[in-house]
Amino acid sequence: MIATACLIALIATSVAILLNLYRLAIGPDVTDRILALDTMVINAIGLIVLLGIYYGTTIYFEAAMLIAMVGFVTTVAFCKYLLRGNVIE
Amino acid sequence: MHWIGEAAVTALILIGAFFLLVGSFGLAKLPDLMRRLHGPSKSTTLGIGSLLIASMLYFAIAGAHISFHELLITIFLFLTAPVTAHMLAKAHILRSQTDRASLPPTNRPSGWATLDVEK
């Protein structure tokens, strides 16, 4: 039952990543593209956690943690660059 | 594994995937950035929290010990989602001429969404 739910959730999350990719491609402004990238990172964390449940292993959590941190820092650096014209002043 | 725990993990996985999909659909569908921010910052955060709680419950039931890595990721994402949304909204207000024109004056030299430099 859990394996079937994992497969359904993997398909749903993949469709969500495709929707993010659509917004990343057509986004009218650069802030839309940053938002699409941020959402894509969160969906990627969801995929990693689902794979961990599906294979029954806990070795993927460090990868999920690192991707969460790198995604947050990336988004803040992009926004900082747009706001101030520089990342570290 | 007891069937109640299995049903709870299944329900949490399905709820999490549903909210992830709804958040991304809102990002793709809604008309402008201030409305598009709602999908990822609320719905997707709820979905990822539900998935991580499902993972924690699954490994607590199936494995021998409880792991708190997922709780760490959950807390980190719940703390960073409002910060990201705020930074994106500020960048959008700074860049969008129409949104800046509709805002009241700040009585500061630089205006909205930026800092005044001390001369």
Q: B28-76: per-residue pLDDT in tens?
A: 999 988 899 998 899 999 999 999 999 988 888 887 677 777 888 889 9
Q: Exposure string (b/e) for A28-61, b if CB count within 10 Å is 16 or more?
A: eeebbbbbbbbbbbbbbbbbbbbebbbeeeeebb
Give residue-wise pLDDT tens across range A4-34: 999 999 999 999 999 999 999 998 889 999 9
End-to-end CA distance of chain A: 53
> A50: closest CA among B7, B28, B12, B76?
B12
- Please report, rounded to a whole number, the percentage of residues in chain A having pLDDT higher than 90: 69
Q: What is the pLDDT of residue A30?
A: 92
CA gap A15, B95 in Å, rounded: 30
ipTM of the prediction? 0.90
CATH of domain A2-84: 1.10.287
**Two structure tokens written together for B46:** 């709820």
Residues 17-76 of A with CB under 8 A from B: 17, 19-20, 22-23, 29-32, 34-36, 38-39, 42-43, 45-46, 49-50, 52-53, 56, 58, 61-62, 64-65, 68-69, 72, 75-76
**Two structure tokens written together for A54:** 């599906």
**What are the residue ranges spanned by the domains of chain A?**
2-84
Q: What is the pLDDT of residue A43?
A: 94
* Local structure of residue A89 (DSSP, 8 states): -
